Amino acid sequence: MSEITRSKAAREKAEKAREKAAPLGDDIDLDAYSQVAEEHPYQDDPSRLPLETKQRMLETGVVLDDASQRSGTFLQVDHSVVHSKAGQDGLEVMSTVTALEEYPWLKDYWWRAVAVDADKFTAQAELHQTHGYFIRALPGVKAIQPIQACLYLSQHGLAQNVHNLIIAEEGSELHIITGCATAPIEQEGLHIGISEFYVKKGAKLTFTMIHNWAPKMAVRPRSGIIVEEGGVFLSNYICLKPVRTLQMYPTAQCVGENALVRFNSVLVAPPGTIMDVGSRVILAARGSRTEVVARAITTGGTIIARGHLVGQVAPVKGHLECRGLILSEKGSIHAIPELEGLVEGVDLSHEAAVGKIAEEEIEYLMARGLSRDQAIAAIVRGFLSVDIEGLPPQLEAELQRAVELSEKELL
């Protein structure tokens, strides 16, 4: 990357934050992971990727055999961009490294929604960035199909440090499906993913992220979202597979009047998995609203489900909801909702419920002829299937599929 686009100040801050532990999540020894990856060749036709890779990507909602289903595709394996293409006028899809070279003005967006010196992970992404995607919709452009991106880790012991940048310009509409996965092997690795989202005036961005990690993976996404006047940001996060340690706390700031943010998370923690996942929304402009919903299931792992709403001006409205199901003798769910009203006239609320499936509900379904196992399956399936307002049907189908795939393993 050209040194002109790299801010010297950012680099210096990153250097200072090199050893800075994150306030949440277990500390991770970054030196335990390799920074050097084998190069993977670029593929003009992504359907020619190995079948196994394609299958693994498909499980995260990334479709490679039918280009007509997507308005753009970005694929990264380890440190190599193996495919990158926009399929509609007015949409841009490329590596952020390329984008920074092409658009010098992008430096105004770089590390603005996420602080470069937040912790050692943001610092590492600055000091050892290995691509990441740049997705942008030009003003007024509405993506017909979702754009998909996949960040794939195939090399044992590797640290993948990506920095993504997503811009929905004024009045545009973007739907993005991001799948993150590891090769189907018992591998160790670290994924650091910085994502900065900018939703401009009147734009709408739907972001659906499906994580399929491996039992020995450490994952530290760091996301920031800035939503301008009348902008809409809808996030759906699905993580149903084992992961050794995952900690993230995406933060959205509603800086324009009547901005809307929704976070939906669906988490399943099998034994050996620790997930510390939250969503934070700062309502900093009049009329801004948010709804944060988390569904968590443990089958033996640990889930910390956080939520934090901050009402800085009035009127604003926010609701936080967390429902947790404990389906095993072991395992725990710790819901930590926080509401912070800083002025008179904010309207913030939360509800949280953690427990096992109500026996009464199981018996009710059994009275209709379902066996006990079928009744539990129906309730769990229902619990996981998030009804998301404003979600395009293709994305809904992807979510449904992800849930169905995991259901068998779950029960």
Residues that bind another protein (CB under 8 A): 323, 358-361, 363-372, 374-375, 378-379, 381-385
Q: Which is nearer to another protein, 181 or 388 (CB)?
A: 388
Burial of 4 (0-12, 13-18, 19+ CB in 10 A): exposed
The string of DSSP codes covering 265-323 is EEEEE-TT-EEEEEEEEEE-STT-EEEEEEEEEESSSEEEEEEEEEE-SSSEEEEEEEE
Q: Which is nearer to another protein, 149 or 303 (CB)?
A: 303
Q: Which is nearer to another protein, 63 or 376 (CB)?
A: 376
Q: Which is nearer to another protein, 225 or 386 (CB)?
A: 386
Calpha distance 149→178 (Å, rounded): 5
Min dist CB 255 to another protein, Å, is 34
3-state secondary structure of 139: coil
Question: Helix 372-384 to helix 393-410 angle, to the nearest 10 degrees?
Answer: 140
- Residue whose pair of structure tokens reads 């976070």 in the numeric block: 263
- E strand or H helix that includes residue 392: none
Q: Which is nearer to another protein, 199 or 384 (CB)?
A: 384
Who contacts 317 (Cβ-Cβ below 8 Å, separation ≥6)? Answer: 283, 289, 290, 346, 347, 348
Cis peptide before 23 (omega within 30 of 0): no
Q: How far from each other are the two terminal CA atoms of the chain, in whole angstroms?
A: 48
Min dist CB 371 to another protein, Å, is 5
Q: Which is nearer to another protein, 243 or 266 (CB)?
A: 266
Min dist CB 100 to another protein, Å, is 43
Min dist CB 365 to another protein, Å, is 7
Calpha distance 181→259 (Å, rounded): 32
Min dist CB 193 to another protein, Å, is 29
Main-chain dihedrals φ then ψ at residue 311, nearest 5 degrees: -100, 105
Min dist CB 324 to another protein, Å, is 13
Q: Which is nearer to another protein, 188 or 321 (CB)?
A: 321
Min dist CB 391 to another protein, Å, is 14
Specify the pairing of strand 232-239 against strand 204-212.
parallel
Min dist CB 393 to another protein, Å, is 14
Q: Which is nearer to another protein, 274 or 357 (CB)?
A: 357
DSSP conformational letter for 105: G
